[in-house]
Amino acid sequence: MKKNVVKSHLIILTGFISVFFVSMLFINNQYYQLMMTLVLIWSVMGISWNIICGYTGLASFGHAAFFGIGAYTVALGLLNWGITPWVGIILGSMIGSIMAFLIGWPTFRLKGQYFSLAMLAYPLAILHVFEWLRYQEVALPMIRDNPSAYMQFEDNRVYTAIGLVFFAIAMIVAIKIETSRFGLSLQAIKQNEIAARTAGVNVLYWKLKAISISGALAGMIGGFYATIILIVTPQSAFGMMTSAQALIVTLFGGIGAAWGPVIGSAILIPLSETLHAEFGEYLPGISGIVFGLAIIIIILVAPEGIYWKVYDYFHKKSKFDKPLRNGSEEFTPTYINQKIDEFGTSPIILNVKNLTKRFGGISAVQGLSFSIPKGTIVGVIGPNGAGKTTLFNLFNMIYKPDLGSIKFDGQELVGMPTHNITRLGIGRTFQVVRVFNRMTAVKNVVVGAFCVTDDDVQAEKMARDAIELVGLKHLSDEVVSTFSSLELRLLEIARAIASKPKLILLDETLAGLGLNETEQVLQVIAKLRDNGITIVIIEHTMKAMMRLVDRFIVLDHGVVLLEGRPDEVINDPRMIEAYLGQKWSMSRAQN
Amino acid sequence: MLKIKNLHVNYNGLSALSGVNLDVEHSQFISVVGPNGAGKTTLFKAISGTVDVAEGSIKFKGEDLIKVKPTDRPHLGIAHVPEGRQVFSDLTVRENLEMGAITKAGRMNWKENLLFINTIFPILEQRSKQLAGTLSGGQQQMLAISRAIASSPDLILFDEPSMGLAPSVADQIFEQIVSMHKIKRLTVLLVEQRAIEAFENCDAGYVLETGRVAMHGLRDELLANDRIRNAYFGF
Amino acid sequence: MELSIEAQVLLETIVQALVNGISVGCLYGLMCLGLGLIFGIMRVINFAQGDFMMLGMYAAFYAFGGFSLSKILGQSIGPIVAALVAGPVIYTFGILMHRILISRVSGLSAATMENDGHNAQLILTLGIGLVLQNTGHIIFGSSPVSIRSPLSTTAWEIVIIRDQVSVIVNQARLISGLIAVAIAAVLSWFIFHSIIGKSARAAANNITASIYMGIDVDRCHRIFFGLGAGVTAIAGGLLALYYPFQPYVGMEFIIVMYTGVVLGGLGSIAGAFWGGLIIGIIQQMSTLILPNQLQNTATFFVFLLIIFFRPNGIFGKTTERA
């Protein structure tokens, strides 16, 4: 299936390039020839920006740094050392890539707005350094002897043709990324970085890979740009407008889509250039205004760009948006728990000792110690604020404990990166489910399998198995925007079990479900257990839990209040007191 | 004073409240009890307007609340003491109270209300210039309640005032709520997990379970009934 | 105390840089205060802040020249009043901007957007900035202008050590700095003691509780966006006394503003002023060791240092919620 998607992209690409090439041959006006080349250049810059920002969701204004370095590499290379741009561009690309990697490594540690601000600073800082180095205007020298060896041509259209080659390279890279696990992993990071980690995605690795490729493309096209404009200044290379323009054409055309940048570029560049040519005399800033207005309109009207607006229009499927109602039909509830009596007989898979985590002086959990045997179902319950979700976050090392140890299958988890824990065999669901709305169920789930296999075919098979296990097989290739809330919940479970984990953490999976839906989910959990997965579940719905779990662990104010069989715990006065209050227990005790 | 009819609220695509009916008459003390996830907080959010109503009506003093902007509702006379206190941690105790008093009635009765607050919670007067974020949990709860009183409301909503507090502190808070109701004849709607504390002093009460009213009745009926335990534990 | 010539020169140079730094720093402080207000109250990253300043500079320029404040109030007081006049003008502009555009991607409506609408705010304000700069280019032309006044060409001599060490302080710079401090003080009083100020701080602290109290959050945001724009505009108007400007001047100061705000601590309004002041001092002091063009690089260096090693700045609170 994937082959078809790639094929259609490539066919459209070939078509586009051919049309572009042919129309180019007919243009005789030098200005318009230049414009066509510029469209291609900004498309490539946009693609470069798209890779790190569009797919990943990181807002960066720093691309001018890589672009500028490419431009200066070619310019200075030719001027000082006689290096032909044919080589200079490749060099520029490499340097751009390395610089991107070096910048990305520390900067990715920063969160949200701080990341954007830092990325903004780099090119501007470099700009000042270049001004100081007296590189105010570096002009590419005219070569009289064998100019084509130095990428100097009489006919502007040759440049356009070369530009097409670079464009093709960039598009192929973008298409490859988008249709591979690379793209899916980046999307997962964009959706929810923490959830992506717990699905096994090595976030830093993918981000660095993305920015390095991004830097390579930007450096490459920056070098080419130098051969077009012939004079490189710090402002044109590293200035804000350079980064802004890449951002604008991509956002306008379609963020996170391979075709977005070229759509935006093909519309905005000719528009602004033509207006500038016609009215530039009395309205000198007209091109800037065009870009500014374009971005304002787009962010308010179609925040993801033209491509997606059109895409959604043609893929409109009405979601049967009836929320789940509480069904009041009677039915005989089945008892799922099997290991109540033999609880202690299986080997321990998860061992928690003296686990403590404080947040600014308040203990969220304190001195927790318990063990969970293989193949059982354990329920973690307790009143609000008892520390249940904190506990799960500790299991995934989303938080690092202040004290204590967590041993999974004998291996110490404390200090391990989250995605490695997933690889070891712990899966996790989250309360708020975020999905790739425009993609199918399989595409949504397959991300979970990437951490345990390098083979894409196998990953897809594992995803399909997971989807079948949760009972959604008939919806495997359906777009998830049409899914009901229950189906989305099951999908979330599927993503968590795609990697065939040994243990799964379910976070309030039954919240708000009606009786029938609850039953459905319980049956799915039973199937998971039958497949050998150990289950730890946080829940409030006591009635359902009574039929599900082999053991309860009751947390209250961050400590283990009690542990035991369901029937014992439920009658334990301490438990009742924790939920219903001291006076309730006392009043009942009196009767 | 407050009439809720057939209220349906959806939250994150789930049915949080399904056909809830609830009445609060003038000067009454009404309690709503139920386990986590029953929809208690959602009910208050619907009254205050921070969550959308799918179906049904909420009428306050005859006025259709759903037509009123959320930030206008407190000015009609509804005060909300939120779950988890939610004091303005960066403002002083005094400034928190001033924020409560931005309603018209609040401004008119400022001196009187302030005197009342300082009488029942003297510690707040002592710490008047302290940042609210540095107060203990119990003190923050007192502040949250006082902030609500400062608006001179007709109806006060208390959302789980005991949550996260040590039992003795929670008892103190409950005592004050009860005495407030008696002295000022305030209409009270209280949501709690702790059943007895909630029902001990009420005129009537409701038990919520998965978004529906599982039972309701007068105080004595509720105190005697074990159906409540069923709502929590399933038997 | 007799100092050697070298010591005199050294001392003079250092003190001169310090005095310059403080007077420029006060102006930067006011500039940053504007941005800090917007970020502190609304958590909006306003890319167009520098362009609001630019508008303020031109407003002051035309008030002084075109509207004859120079004739009415004379060459010395005129410019000051012109700078102050820029405030309300740009305040109104800011209010309009918020009503029409900014409110769609911030505040209550943005609570449901991706990332709380931060990316959308960045991009929207980028667009607004571009439009402002280029429209300015069309309307005002691109040649640099400044407000001509005897203040910018006269200076006072302040004697530190009689006959040995003295520093020269440009009148325009000193007066601008003083007025900037005065305005910052007035504004601070307003923010911390008026009901609107307290309501806005409450809304920034806890939006949910604010709704429950009946605070009109959107109105608070609107007013403070306007104030933020107006304050930076006044700073610009004062700057116009000695700094030649053109429609793209905003870009030159955007990094100064962000560095100041981040240094002071994202979320701390008072911190923004101190951050700006410190940046002014650092910039001027760096001329002692760095060549001219690298002055700005010093600012970037500081900026990156803070972001990496102390992102909360001096007074900041953690604005990222778990």
| Mean of per-residue pLDDT scores for chain A | 87
The H-assigned helical ranges of chain C are 5-42, 49-64, 69-100, 118-140, 150-153, 171-193, 195-205, 207-213, 217-239, 249-264, 269-286, 295-309
What integer pLDDT is reported at residue A588 of this predicted model?
62
- Which residues of chain C does A129 touch, with a Cβ-Cβ cutoff of 8 Å? 294, 297
Let me know: does B144 contact B82? Beta carbons within 8 Å: yes
Q: Map residue C71 onto helix, strand or coil.
A: helix
C193 touches chain B (CB under 8 A): no
Q: Give me the residues of B, 103-132, that contact C with CB < 8 A.
A: 103
Strand (E) or helix (H) holding A357: strand A348-359
pLDDT-above-90 percentage for chain A? 47
Q: How confident is the model at residue A326 (pLDDT cuts 50, 70, 90)?
A: very low
Let me know: does A534 contact A497? Beta carbons within 8 Å: no
The CA-atom distances, in angstroms, between A154 and each of A151, A227, A535 are 10, 12, 71
Number of A–B residue contacts, CB under 8 Å: 90
pLDDT tens sequence across B5-41: 999 998 766 778 888 999 999 999 999 988 777 788 8
What integer pLDDT is reported at residue A344 of this predicted model?
78
pLDDT tens sequence across B40-64: 889 999 999 888 898 999 999 989 9
Q: Which of B41, B44, B39, B8 is nearest to B24 (CA)?
A: B44
Contact call for B18 and A582, based on CB within 8 A:
no
As a whole number, mean pLDDT of residues A12-20 equals 89
What integer pLDDT is reported at residue C55 of this predicted model?
95
CA-to-CA distance for A430 and A496, rounded, in angstroms?
10
What integer pLDDT is reported at residue B172 of this predicted model?
85
CA-CA-CA-CA torsion for A295, A298, A300, A304, nearest 10 degrees? -120
Residue C316, amino acid: G
Q: Map residue C313 onto helix, strand or coil.
A: coil
User: What chains are in contact with A, requiring at least 3 Cβ pairs below 8 Å?
Assistant: B, C
Q: Which of A423, A425, A460, A430 is nearest to A444 (CA)?
A: A460
Q: Name, in order, each residue with C-beta under 8 angstroms of C169's C-beta and a sequence gap of 6 or more.
A: C19, C20, C23, C155, C156, C157, C158
CA-to-CA distance for A459 and B120, rounded, in angstroms?
65
Q: What ipTM does this complex have?
A: 0.89
Ranges of beta strands (E only) in A236-304 are: none
CA-to-CA distance for B190 and A344, rounded, in angstroms?
44
What integer pLDDT is reported at residue B41 of this predicted model?
87
As a whole number, mean pLDDT of residues A375-402 equals 88
> A432 or A559, which is more confident?
A559
Let me know: does C205 contact B88? Beta carbons within 8 Å: yes
Q: Is residue A524 scored above 80 in pLDDT? A: yes
What integer pLDDT is reported at residue C277 of this predicted model?
94
What integer pLDDT is reported at residue C70 of this predicted model?
65
**Nearest-by-Cβ selection for B196 from A488, A541, A587:** A587
The CA-atom distances, in angstroms, between A148 and each of A70, A145, A165, B181, C173 are 20, 9, 16, 92, 56
pLDDT tens sequence across A222-251: 999 999 988 899 888 898 888 889 999 999
Contact call for C202 and B74, based on CB within 8 A:
no
Ordered by start, the domain boundaries in chain A are 2-315, 345-438+484-590
As a whole number, mean pLDDT of residues A482-509 equals 91
Q: How confident is the model at residue A539 (pLDDT cuts 50, 70, 90)?
A: confident
> A134 or B69, which is more confident?
B69
For chain B, how many residues are written? 235
The CATH fold of domain A2-315: ABC transporter involved in vitamin B12 uptake, BtuC (1.10.3470)
What integer pLDDT is reported at residue B140 of this predicted model?
92
What integer pLDDT is reported at residue B155 of this predicted model?
93
**Which regions of chain C are under pLDDT 70?**
1, 67-71, 110-117, 164, 293, 317-322
Name the packing angle between helices A456-469 and A485-497 (round to 10°): 130
Residue C174, amino acid: L
Strand (E) or helix (H) holding A220: helix A203-229
CA-to-CA distance for A440 and A458, rounded, in angstroms?
17
Q: How confident is the model at residue A586 (pLDDT cuts 50, 70, 90)?
A: low
Q: Is residue A496 scored above 90 in pLDDT? A: yes
CA-to-CA distance for B52 and B9, rounded, in angstroms?
7
Let me know: does B126 contact B186? Beta carbons within 8 Å: no
Name the packing angle between helices A30-49 and A156-178 (round to 10°): 20
- Which residues of chain A does B13 touch, with a Cβ-Cβ cutoff of 8 Å? 323-324, 484-485, 488
Nearest CA in chain A to B165: A557
**Nearest-by-Cβ selection for C137 from A129, A251, A284:** A284
What integer pLDDT is reported at residue C276 of this predicted model?
93
Let me know: does C54 contact C247? Beta carbons within 8 Å: yes
What integer pLDDT is reported at residue A380 of this predicted model?
92
A12-21, A212-221, A513-522, C153-162: range with lowest mean pLDDT: C153-162
pLDDT tens sequence across B150-209: 999 999 999 988 887 777 888 888 888 988 888 888 899 999 877 777 888 889 999 888
What integer pLDDT is reported at residue C237 of this predicted model?
92
Which residues of chain A are at the C interface, by a Cβ-Cβ cutoff of 8 Å? Answer: 57, 59, 106, 109-114, 116-118, 120-121, 124-125, 128-129, 131-132, 240, 244, 247-248, 251, 282-289, 291-296, 299-300, 303
Residue that the structure tokens 């520098």 belong to:
C50
CA-to-CA distance for A88 and A90, rounded, in angstroms?
5
pLDDT tens sequence across A332-364: 667 777 777 777 788 999 999 999 998 876 778
Q: Which of A91, A318, A51, A29 is nearest to A210 (CA)?
A: A51
Sign of the torsion formed by the C-alpha atoms of B96, B100, B104 and B110: negative
What integer pLDDT is reported at residue C25 of this predicted model?
93
Contact call for A579 and B37, based on CB within 8 A:
no
Let me know: does B9 contact B52? Beta carbons within 8 Å: yes
Tell me how crowded residue C128 is: count the other CB atoms within 10 A of its CB: 22
What integer pLDDT is reported at residue A99 of this predicted model?
94
- Which residues of chain A does C300 touch, with a Cβ-Cβ cutoff of 8 Å? 121, 124-125, 128
Q: Is residue A324 scored above 80 in pLDDT? A: no
Q: How far is A40 from chain B (nearest CA, A)?
A: 43
Contact call for C215 and B71, based on CB within 8 A:
yes
Let me know: does A434 contact A195? Beta carbons within 8 Å: yes
pLDDT tens sequence across A29-65: 888 888 999 999 999 999 999 998 888 887 888 889 9
Q: Map residue A263 onto helix, strand or coil.
A: helix
What integer pLDDT is reported at residue A317 of this predicted model?
64
C5-309: which CATH architecture? Answer: Orthogonal Bundle (1.10)
CA-to-CA distance for C232 and C247, rounded, in angstroms?
15
pLDDT tens sequence across A183-213: 999 999 988 888 899 999 999 999 999 999 9
Q: How confident is the model at residue A413 (pLDDT cuts 50, 70, 90)?
A: very high
CA-to-CA distance for B149 and B116, rounded, in angstroms?
9
Ranges of beta strands (E only) in A26-163 are: 138-139
**Nearest-by-Cβ selection for A326 from B35, B211, B233:** B211
CATH of domain A345-438+484-590: 3.40.50.300
For chain A, how many residues are written? 591
CA-to-CA distance for A378 and A537, rounded, in angstroms?
6
Nearest CA in chain A to C121: A299
Beta pairing partners, B212? B209
Let me know: does B59 contact B65? Beta carbons within 8 Å: yes
